Amino acid sequence: MRLQSGNIVLRSFRESDAPRLAELANNTKIGRNLRDGFPYPYTLENAMDFIGRFKDHISFFAIEYSGEYVGNISLVPLDNVHRKTAEIGYFLGEPYWNKGIMTVAVNLVTEYGFRELGFARIHTGVYEFNPASQRVLEKCGYTKEGIFSKNVFREDRLWDEVRYAKINPEYE
């Protein structure tokens, strides 16, 4: 699967992405915005394991910027009565922040999730201390649906989580 807009491409992972994935992901400024389980330090072995598990997945993508691997984006389907919903997740290596890359990637993957995978809703929870991610979702037309107070335990304290969602126009 390959999605493209200008010099930004979303494609399947390759084993050759592993060294750069390990380098970029080994950054607490990235990991603190994700869930526990995102490793730190992030080793080459972690990167190879991740790529091995997800390289053939239809909704896990490597992000390329001008031909270079720069980050990850995924849609994870929920189950049971929530099976028409997917959770979106993403990160970009710090050298590439604030160039508009993730805004393009989120738009591409949201469109794909609605049109090709048939999700009715795509959502995520952003920690209160992550204004950049909240801004990305707002720029992509996601709605701030509410605040889950004290829903996140990180760094020995509780934080609010901000829920953002976008609805497939076909289901509105």
Binding site for ligand COA (CB under 6 A): 30, 33-34, 90-92, 97-103, 124, 126, 130-133, 135-136
Q: How far is the CB of 170 from ligand COA (least distance, A)?
A: 25
56/144 with CB nearer ligand COA: 144
Measured from the CB atom, is 12 or 33 closer to ligand COA?
Answer: 33
- Supply the minimum distance, in Å, between the C-beta of residue 111 and ligand COA: 16
- Least distance in Å: CB of 93 to ligand COA? 8
Q: Which is nearer to ligand COA, 56 or 94 (CB)?
A: 94
Nearest one of 8, 159, 168 to 86, comparing CA atoms: 168
* Between 72 and 168, CB nearer to ligand COA: 72
Assigned token pair, 21: 């994935």
8 A C-beta contact, residue 71 and residue 96:
yes
Beta-bridge mates of residue 166: 122
User: Residue 86 is encoded by which pair of tokens?
Assistant: 């997917």
* Cα atoms in the Cβ-side hemisphere of radius 13 Å centred on 102: 23
Radius of gyration of the chain (CA): 16
